[in-house]
Amino acid sequence: MSFISDRPHLIPCLIAATMCFVAIGDHPYAYYTLVRVVTFVAALVGGLVAYRADRIWALWMFGVVALLFNPIVPVHLTKEVWCYLDALAGAALILGGLVVRIADGTGLASEKGPKPRHHADEER
């Protein structure tokens, strides 16, 4: 499997992370609305992959980012607070995008189920 096919959420996460880092500067309100939507979608995709990969810590991380950046019920904070949150969200998206991976490369749950345990695998 290739690096990208093991991480189907990597490209959306990197795009959203870049937009979060750029959002630390001064931009029109429309840019921040776009960042909110793109980051929300990337966090949802990352959360789905984390769930399918059974990475609960990453699921929580992506969930918090999705809640903060959701466009349906926006969170209103000061510009200074958003600067910190944008940097943290960007770092979280990069971390989750690089670390969480799917073994079969599809990002979907495997039909095979868990590996069977053999007696030699058990501790004595």
Written as one letter, the residue type at 112 is: K
* Tokens 């959306």, residue located: 12
Contacts of 67 (CB under 8 A, 6+ apart): 75
Show me where the domains of the chain are located. 10-105
Q: Is the CB of residue 63 less than 8 Å from the CB of residue 13?
A: no
Measured CA to CA, the distance from residue 90 to residue 18 in angstroms comes to 7
The pLDDT of residue 107 is 45
pLDDT tens for 65-83 read 999 999 999 999 999 999 9
- For 40-56, give the DSSP string: HHHHHHHHHHHHHTT-H
Q: Is the CB of residue 70 less than 8 Å from the CB of residue 13?
A: no
- For 9-21, give the DSSP string: THHHHHHHHHHHH
pLDDT tens for 19-46 read 999 999 899 999 999 999 999 999 999 9
